[in-house]
Amino acid sequence: MRFMIIIKANPASESGAMPDRKILEAMGKFNEELVAAGIMLAGEGLQPSAKGARVRFKGNDRTVVDGPFAETKELIAGFWIWQCSSLDEAISWTKRCPNPFDEESEIEIRQIFELEDFGPELTPELRESEERLRAELSSRKPN
């Protein structure tokens, strides 16, 4: 099972303040443990929402809303993608994570849909197309 581990933003991360060396070192060590255990598939920090945008959909209409966004507690400062055997395993690893900030913080865990989860709605043609796209993506080299 794959999980997205979501590090919630706070006012400091939304201001663009960079983490201090102590947090960077602790997170680096934790990431090394995740990689060594075969858990971590990806992970990145995100720029503040002031550098982002949202696209709202209403029927065929699209509206762009530029950041920053007001509700900091609903924003994301970073994420990991992990391969775990269960939600309990993802929780266990998350509990080992260093606190991402020098204050109270929150990390959310969400399971990622797999092709099998879509049932009969995912026709053989759609499955083949999705598998082809995934194979193409995995063959690309990161920049």
Q: What is the pLDDT of residue 140?
A: 86
Three-state DSSP class for residue 133: helix
Residue 17 domain boundaries: 2-112
Q: What is the pLDDT of residue 134?
A: 87
Strand-strand pairing, 2-8 and 107-111: antiparallel
Decide: pTM greater than 0.75. yes
How much is the average pLDDT of 135-143? 81
Three-state DSSP class for residue 74: helix
Shared domain for 49 and 92, answered yes or no, is yes
Shared domain for 97 and 121, answered yes or no, is no
* Confidence grade of residue 143 (pLDDT, cut at 50, 70, 90): low
Shared domain for 57 and 126, answered yes or no, is no
Shared domain for 46 and 96, answered yes or no, is yes
How much is the average pLDDT of 22-46? 96
Number of domains in the chain: 2
Residue 73 has pLDDT above 80, yes or no: no
Give the CATH number, domain containing residue 108: 3.30.70.1060
Share of the chain above pLDDT 70, in %: 99
Tokens at residue 56, please? 């709202």
Q: What is the pLDDT of residue 52?
A: 96
- Say how many C-beta atoms besides its own lie within 10 A of residue 27's C-beta: 19
Shared domain for 85 and 132, answered yes or no, is no
Shared domain for 72 and 26, answered yes or no, is yes
Task: Give the tens place of pLDDT for each residue, 96-117.
Answer: 999 999 888 999 999 999 988 9
